[in-house]
Structure 1
Amino acid sequence: MSAMRRISFLSLLALSAALAGCGSSPPVRFYTLQPAPQAAPANVPRVDYQIELAPVTVPQQADQPQIMLREGQNNGALTPLYSDRWSASLGNEIGSALTDTLTRTLGALNVQTLSPAKDIPVWRIQVDVQRFDMVEGGPARLDATWRVRPINVKNGRALICGSVVQVPADQINVVGSLVHAQQQAVVLLADTIASAIQSGGARATPASGQVQLLGCAQ
């Protein structure tokens, strides 16, 4: 075999190997919990307080780059979906989605990364996620303990609550439908938290029948 033919043959082998490697690695899909941008409701007035959402804590087994799929409601096995990943850390995804809904629902500015002006009323929000389950075939489940605490707010009281949110998912597109269900679960959690702030910390009202309050305490 001539040198030129040998080079061409080796180049063809290298190209074939590269194509085979590409064919064996499916493309990675990235998902976010932030809903699509929406216009602020026209009937929500601006308020005189601001909100400050602390970094959201999540269980380590769910806090992975890959989406973790639970195999059946009564099965503890978790399967990492290496081709389906979050676009950011799970705590950041939940926090960004909560902030998006809270600011739109309340009409308040978020000052998480800024220092509010002195004496400005602020509601500080902490969310500790205990369960973040995406069960094959549904539902998506979000368990969290959360707290709202007033700073410089007249007649405001601190309130801590536990809640469970479960949203059914369409089984046709397992991953996409579960992500959408968790998006809805985060929105429902945010609206329930917003109700506590709107009541001045007196009470929390479940945003829908898919939200179960486990109890609240001052």
Structure 2
Amino acid sequence: MTRAPASLIVALLAILLGGCSSSPVSSFYRLKPDANLTVLSTAVPLFVVVNPVTIPALVDRPQIVISLADNQVWPDEFQRWAEPLKGNIQRTIAADLAVLLGSEHVSVYASDSGGLPAWRVRVDIMQFDSVLSGMATVDAQWTIWSPGNAAPIVGHTVAREPVQGQAYDALVAAHDRALGLVSRDVAAAILKNLPASGSSAHN
């Protein structure tokens, strides 16, 4: 069998490597707490645990899923979440609640309550819609269990935030704000249902 000349092999490798270098490079994004949030009331050292979040199967993937039309979506192979979306949403809501409640005891881990009774929050994301240069929409149903109270507090928030730009960074920032609105409703419900003495954090 005739061997290819070494010079030809080097040339082919150069072409292949050149082609690889021109391939699109993936970008990775993560949600973060809404920087515009402030404490809603006098800070109360509540223990709050945010349970695992559920999200639609459509967006439960590494790619950021863009809505193109009513019945058409596009998972962008080169624009991705840096970590599983449901875990990122869970931690973002916990961080938002920590600011809104003025508490250092908001966590995604039950063990962080130190054995003291904790408020528990579950968020089910029904819709996580992304439109570039359009709107970020988060439709969330949430449930809160207060310490010593068997009756849960149930609520529903539909948050729509305009995407202030054409890039994916602007889209992700809009989702940060939308999740902040969900967290604000959850925090307000917790504060509304505090005992008059505010002693639920210590009982």
TM-score relative to the length of structure 1: 0.77
Q: Could you say which structure has the higher helix fraction?
A: 2
Q: Does 1:133 align with 2:126?
A: no
* CA root-mean-square deviation: 2.8
- Classify the secondary structure of the residue corresponding to 1:71: strand
- Classify the secondary structure of the residue corresponding to 2:114: coil
Which residue number corresponds to residue 53 of structure 1?
Answer: 50
Q: Which runs of 5+ in 2 are unaligned?
A: 196-203
- 2-side partners of 1:58 and 1:21: how far apart? 35
Deviation at 1:7, TM superposition (A): 1.7
- Sort the Cα spacing of 1:121 and 1:49 in 2 relative to 1 into closer, same or farther, 3 A: farther
Aligned length: 191
- Sort the Cα spacing of 1:111 and 1:176 in 2 relative to 1 into closer, same or farther, 3 A: closer
User: Which amino acid is 1:7 matched to?
Assistant: A
Deviation at 1:134, TM superposition (A): 0.4
Describe the superposition over 1:14-61 as per-residue Cα deviations: whole angstroms up to 9, x where unpaired: 1221111231x211100111148x699699755242000000000001
User: Which amino acid is 1:132 matched to?
Assistant: F
- Classify the secondary structure of the residue corresponding to 1:12: helix
Q: 1 or 2 for the larger relative contact order (CA 8 Å, sep ≥6)?
A: 2
Q: Does 1:88 align with 2:86?
A: no
Percentage of pairs with the same residue = 26
User: Which amino acid is 2:139 matched to?
Assistant: D
- Classify the secondary structure of the residue corresponding to 2:120: strand
TM-score relative to the length of structure 2: 0.83
Deviation at 1:8, TM superposition (A): 3.3
Mapping for residues 34-53 of structure 1, pairs under 5 Å? 34-35=32-33, 46-53=43-50
- Sort the Cα spacing of 1:22 and 1:98 in 2 relative to 1 into closer, same or farther, 3 A: same
- 2-side partners of 1:32 and 1:43: how far apart? 25
Q: Which runs of 5+ in 1 are unaligned?
A: 203-218
- Sort the Cα spacing of 1:46 and 1:121 in 2 relative to 1 into closer, same or farther, 3 A: farther
Which residue number corresponds to residue 206 of structure 1?
Answer: none
Q: Does 1:170 align with 2:169?
A: no
